[in-house]
Amino acid sequence: DGGITQSPKYLFRKEGQNVTLSCEQNLNHDAMYWYRQDPGQGLRLIYYSQIVNDFQKGDIAEGYSVSREKKESFPLTVTSAQKNPTAFYLCASRPGTTRDEQYFGPGTRLTVT
């Protein structure tokens, strides 16, 4: 099956710990995105990457970090510097530099206590 996978579906962490969310795609897409969604809200862009070894900050990048060492993978690390990390995190991808639709993973719900 082609698509985007995110793991795990649910993640629990203690405050002060870094945590890495996985995002993998086998769609051969160049561009990948990370969004944060809070209850009843829309999506806010954290980071995006248009090609391997390159990524750009989105609107709410503080307290997050990413890497793009492989085309298929775009992991997101939520660091202890992120003041309010509990949220639903969505990864997406789309082909090359076209401005067409994005394909979304199922999301990871992170709870930090």
Residues that bind another protein (CB under 8 A): 4, 6, 31, 33, 35, 40-45, 48, 50, 58-59, 88, 90, 92, 97, 99-107, 109
Q: Which is nearer to another protein, 18 or 41 (CB)?
A: 41
**Cα 15 from Cα 100, distance rounded (Å):** 38
Min CB(40)–another protein separation in Å: 8
User: What is the side-by-side order of every strand in the sheet holding 76-78?
Assistant: 4-7, 19-25, 76-78, 64-66
Across the strands, what pairs with 13?
A: 112
Min CB(42)–another protein separation in Å: 4
Min CB(36)–another protein separation in Å: 11
Distance, CA of 32 to chain centre: 8
